[in-house]
Every structure is written in structure tokens, then in C-alpha cells.
């Protein structure tokens, strides 16, 4: 049986006027066009509003050029538990405050906060209803994993599985920033993974975990996680909410694969261009937090 993500809320954050100063592993071939970036981000929010009941956009902070990448600031584990992160780049560490306040306002009762020397970007964490997958990367360290493991244990949360995000020098020319730079969840038991050396290195680690491994990449019933490879790295990062999936536009070979997977699961595929945000290493999941929030209490 296909299991969809139950998403009632999306948090997004405005695009800072200073976004052209956002961090990037490598300078883009062409400078960021701020006007186009704003247009693309507006389209992103409009699409989310068409598929998710409650979309809350927090205001941008021009002193934080990367603040649009709200995913890195918090993990919503369940409708009763969230974790405020401590981003790995020092310039980004002021970003979580307004996000934590927004999550608190939505009634999530348990909100934990990572403390120094822990560093963790949400882009390194894939939260499934039954497991949490974390990648150790240049932005996420072992101390953060240790603290997160304690939070999950103390709240009776899902088990935590830890992987290493290979450096480019280890696996040829690809240079990922985050764990989810090369993978994401299509549904709660299916991962899309970039068909690259880094993607395969991470897939091999996943297959080595008995609780996660699947004997085949073509059978949804073969194991807890089915792995589907796509040829384009950006196309491996998708948004999934209920029966809706959003992928980056402009990658026809990957779209054919993702569309077939969606059709098999009775999911609707949407495509969206976020090319200007990608110049700052931004993928689709980077720009939102999607989760199920508690139902508001009726007045007595």
C-alpha cells in the first residue's frame, strides 16, 4: 500500500533583498538575478497554496541572505515534536529564532533546541514517519547527531539512522552540500536518488542497513525503502505532500522517471523552475518546512 505524507502546514520565508550574497559552494556561472529569483519564489509559494491547506510565509531578514532556505532551521518530527537546529554556517545561526516561534504558535508541544558545539542543517535530515535519516556533512556534525538521538529517545520518536555525505574528492566531480542535495522522499517508503557517484555512495550505505534495505529498485514491496535513480541531481530533490509531488522543471529524462513513479502511486506531478535559487545551492525542499500540525483545540 502506498503511504503519502500527511501535510497540513507549510512554513516558508521571504527572499531577502541581499539574496545575491547567499552562500554557495562555487560561484554560479552567471550572477543571481534577484528579480527572477523573487518571481520564482512567488510561484513556489503559489503552488504550495494550491496543494496545502495552510501556508505561512515568514518575513525575510535582509541581514540573513540565506533565510529563504528555511528547511535548514528546524526539523518537525511529528505533530507533537520539533527540533530547532543550529546551522553549520556561522552567518546563518540567527535564522532559526522566528521559525521556532512560528512552530510554537502552531501548537507543537515539545520543541527541543540543538546546542553548541552541535551544528546541523535541516537539509541533512530526511524525516519519515517511521525513521529519521541524517547525513554527516560539512554543515552537520556528530555532536548534533548525538543530541538529536537523545531528543528522539526521550520523546519516543522514530529510530535514527546516520550516513556519511561523501566529499567530491572521494567520488569524482560531484560536490554536494547536503544529504538531501542528492535524495528526497517521493512517498514515505520511496526515495529518489541522483544517479551520480555521490548518490550511489549514499544508496550503498542505505542498502547496508537491514531495517532500510530493499532487494530491488523496481519493486515497491521489496523492502522498507525503494530506491529510484534519476539522472539529474536537482531532480532528485522533490516536495511531497499528500498525493502531490513537485519537481524541478527542465529535466525531461528525470521527469519521465518521476512521472512514471507518480502514476504508479496515483500521485500528481507538478514541475517548477527554481533556477535562480539553485545558484545558491538551493533545491525545492530547502525553501519550506512541510508537516502535520496539531488540530486547534475547540473552545470549551
Catalytic residues: 178, 286
| CB distance 183 to 191 below 8 Å | yes
- Which parts of the chain are beta strand (E)? 9-13, 54-58, 74-78, 81-84, 110-113, 125-128, 131-136, 160-164, 183-187, 190-194, 226-230, 239-241, 244-248, 268-272, 289-291
CB-CB neighbours of 45 under 10 Å: 16
Q: How far apart are CA 283 and CA 238, in angstroms?
A: 8
Burial of 252 by CB count in 10 Å (0-12 exposed, 13-18 middle, 19+ buried)? Answer: exposed
In 3D, which of 11, 168, 19 has the Cα closest to residue 76?
A: 11
Phi, psi values for residue 203, rounded to 5°: -60, -40
Cell for 3? 503511504
Cis peptide upstream of residue 117 (ω within 30 degrees of 0):
yes
123 three-state secondary structure:
helix
Amino acid at each position: 500500500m502506498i503511504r503519502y505524507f500527511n501535510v497540513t502546514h507549510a512554513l516558508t520565508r521571504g527572499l531577502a533583498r541581499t539574496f545575491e550574497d547567499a552562500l554557495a559552494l562555487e560561484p554560479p556561472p552567471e550572477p543571481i538575478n534577484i528579480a527572477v529569483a523573487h518571481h520564482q519564489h512567488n510561484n513556489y509559494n503559489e503552488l504550495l497554496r494550491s496543494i496545502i491547506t495552510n501556508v505561512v510565509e515568514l518575513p525575510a531578514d535582509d541581514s540573513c541572505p540565506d533565510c529563504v532556505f528555511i528547511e535548514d532551521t528546524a526539523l518537525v518530527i511529528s505533530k507533537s515534536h520539533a527540533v530547532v537546529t543550529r546551522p553549520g554556517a556561522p552567518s546563518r545561526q540567527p535564522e532559526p529564532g522566528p521559525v521556532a516561534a512560528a512552530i510554537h504558535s502552531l501548537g507543537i508541544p515539545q520543541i527541543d533546541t540543538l546546542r553548541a558545539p552541535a551544528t546541523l542543517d535541516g537539509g541533512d535530515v530526511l524525516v519519515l514517519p517511521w525513521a529519521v535519516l541524517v547525513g554527516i556533512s560539512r554543515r552537520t556534525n556528530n555532536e548534533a547527531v548525538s543530541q538529536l538521538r537523545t531528543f528522539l529517545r526521550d520523546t519516543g520518536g522514530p529510530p535514527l539512522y546516520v550516513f556519511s555525505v561523501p566529499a567530491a574528492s572521494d567520488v569524482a566531480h560531484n560536490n554536494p552540500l547536503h544529504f538531501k542535495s542528492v535524495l528526497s522522499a517521493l512517498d514515505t517508503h520511496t526515495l529518489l536518488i541522483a544517479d551520480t557517484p555521490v548518490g550511489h555512495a549514499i544508496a550503498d550505505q542505505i542498502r547496508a542497513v537491514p531495517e532500510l534495505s530493499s532487494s530491488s529498485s523496481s519493486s515497491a514491496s521489496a523492502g522498507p525503502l525503494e530506491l529510484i535513480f534519476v539522472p539529474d541531481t536537482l531532480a532528485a530533490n522533490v516536495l511531497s505532500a499528500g498525493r502531490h509531488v513537485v519537481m524541478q522543471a527542465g529535466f525531461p529524462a528525470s521527469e519521465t522517471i518521476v512521472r512514471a513513479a507518480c502514476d504508479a502511486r496515483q500521485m500528481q506531478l507538478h514541475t517548477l523552475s527554481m533556477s535562480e535559487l539553485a545558484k545558491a545551492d538551493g533545491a525545492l525542499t530547502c525553501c519550506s518546512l512541510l508537516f502535520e500540525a496539531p488540530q486547534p483545540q475547540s473552545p470549551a
